[in-house]
């Protein structure tokens, strides 16, 4: 029974392609009410663009927002000493602060619509497996994803009985442009696709898994994670010293491959 879907990003051509696919679905389900599909470009690194996006979204949805998906993000590929503060701030703004700003604008409307506690408002935030585990050469990225995890954990408790639930998804490797679009320590584009990313999970299947899990009420869960990533999560809980040793070993291995 959705009325409106708003697609957002920076690439108009890609957004229009998704819009066309959505319209095909609309046309193939004639017995159902067609969903109004809008495209709103937004640059998550620009606070003014984010605020404008929130305002226009609320207008198009007539203040009837039920679901907010914070999916935008960018990764980094550099050692701590080679990463400028500007890159740290850039990743924090794109991966965390923009989503926090959108949530601040959208959440009051969601709570108002679902304030009796029986509503179905949902905030879905796509984090990363590096939200709970910080790996070498990802200090900026890990910092932004750790921020997402902590923010949502605190927010979830504040929204008890509000009719709005908070869901944090921590994906492993997915076949996307994440590594290709990553930034280096000086802000330049990384421009390479990791083999693990190229062999990662199908993004369509991951999207379905995420939506199914949210529909079942899962609030903090992992998707598309390799067996080693899942083991690492358990090691962090039961043996943090062992995890630290493994991360040091990974750092030395990666450092040797860069030299």
What integer is the mean pLDDT of 166-177? 95
Number of domains in the chain: 2
In percent, the amount of the chain with pLDDT more than 70 equals 96
Q: How far is CA 188 from CA 75, 83, 84, 87, 182, in A?
A: 12, 11, 11, 10, 9
Active site residues: 141
In percent, the amount of the chain with pLDDT more than 90 equals 79
- pLDDT score at 230: 93
Summary mean pLDDT of the chain: 92
Neighbours of 134 (CB within 10 A): 14
> Domain for residue 248, yes or no?
yes
What integer is the mean pLDDT of 73-83? 94
State whether 174 and 247 are in the same domain: no
- pLDDT score at 31: 62
User: How does pLDDT run across 114-151, given as a tens digit for each residue?
Assistant: 765 456 899 999 999 999 999 999 999 999 999 999 99
Structure confidence at residue 30 as a pLDDT band (50, 70, 90): low
- pLDDT score at 255: 78
Buried/exposed code over 136-154 (b: 16+ C-beta within 10 A; e: otherwise): bbbbbbbbbbbbbbebbee
> Domain for residue 47, yes or no?
no
Residue 29 Cα to chain centre, angstroms: 29
Sequence-ordered strand ranges (E) for 152-212:
164-171
State whether 122 and 199 are in the same domain: yes
- pLDDT score at 259: 58
Question: Is the C-alpha dihedral spanning 152, 61, 163, 171 positive or negative?
Answer: negative
Comparing 12-21, 50-59, 190-199, 220-229, which segment has the lowest mean pLDDT? 190-199
State whether 94 and 220 are in the same domain: yes
What integer is the mean pLDDT of 248-256? 84
State whether 170 and 112 are in the same domain: yes
Buried/exposed code over 37-62 (b: 16+ C-beta within 10 A; e: otherwise): beebebbbbeeebbbebbeebeebbe
> Domain for residue 148, yes or no?
yes
Residue 195: pLDDT over 90: no
pTM: 0.91
- pLDDT score at 67: 95
State whether 219 and 250 are in the same domain: no
What integer is the mean pLDDT of 87-106? 97
Residue 32: pLDDT over 80: no
State whether 235 and 220 are in the same domain: no
- pLDDT score at 141: 96
Residue 256: pLDDT over 80: no
Q: How far is CA 55 from CA 19, 35, 41, 228, 255, in A?
A: 21, 20, 13, 42, 46
State whether 221 and 243 are in the same domain: no
Q: Please state the length of the chain.
A: 259
State whether 248 and 137 are in the same domain: no
State whether 123 and 169 are in the same domain: yes
Q: Which residues contact 166 (CB under 8 A, 6 or more apart)?
A: 122, 123, 125, 152, 155, 156, 159, 219
What integer is the mean pLDDT of 17-29? 89
State whether 137 and 172 are in the same domain: yes
Cross-strand pairs, 68: 123
Residue 239 Cα to chain centre, angstroms: 28
User: How does pLDDT run across 205-248, given as a tens digit for each residue?
Assistant: 999 999 999 999 999 999 999 998 999 999 999 999 999 999 99
> Domain for residue 184, yes or no?
yes
Q: Which domain holds residue 133?
A: 66-225
State whether 79 and 192 are in the same domain: yes
> Domain for residue 8, yes or no?
no
């Amino acid at each position: 029974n959705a009325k409106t879907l708003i697609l957002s990003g920076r690439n108009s051509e890609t957004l229009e392609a998704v819009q066309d696919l959505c319209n095909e679905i609309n046309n193939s389900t004639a017995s159902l009410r067609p969903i109004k599909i809008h495209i709103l470009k937004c640059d998550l690194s620009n606070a003014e663009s984010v605020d404008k996006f929130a305002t226009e979204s609320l207008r198009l949805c007539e203040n009837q927002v039920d679901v907010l998906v914070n999916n935008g993000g960018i990764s980094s590929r550099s050692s701590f000493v080679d990463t400028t503060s500007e890159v740290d701030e850039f990743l924090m703004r794109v991966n965390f602060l923009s989503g926090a700003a959108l949530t601040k604008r959208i959440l009051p409307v969601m709570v108002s619509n679902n304030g009796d506690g029986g509503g179905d408002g949902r905030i879905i935030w796509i984090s990363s497996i590096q939200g709970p585990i910080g790996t070498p050469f990802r200090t900026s990225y890990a910092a932004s994803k750790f921020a997402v995890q902590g923010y949502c954990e605190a927010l979830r408790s504040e929204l008890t009985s509000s009719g709005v639930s908070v869901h944090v998804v921590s994906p492993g490797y997915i076949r996307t442009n994440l590594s290709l679009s990553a930034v280096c320590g000086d802000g330049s584009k990384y421009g390479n696709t990791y083999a693990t990313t190229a062999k990662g999970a199908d993004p369509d299947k991951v999207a379905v898994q995420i939506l199914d899990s949210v529909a079942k009420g899962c609030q903090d869960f992992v998707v598309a994670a390799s067996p080693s990533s899942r083991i690492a999560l358990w090691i962090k809980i039961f043996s943090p010293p062992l995890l630290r040793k493994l991360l040091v070993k990974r750092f030395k291995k990666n450092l040797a491959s860069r030299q």
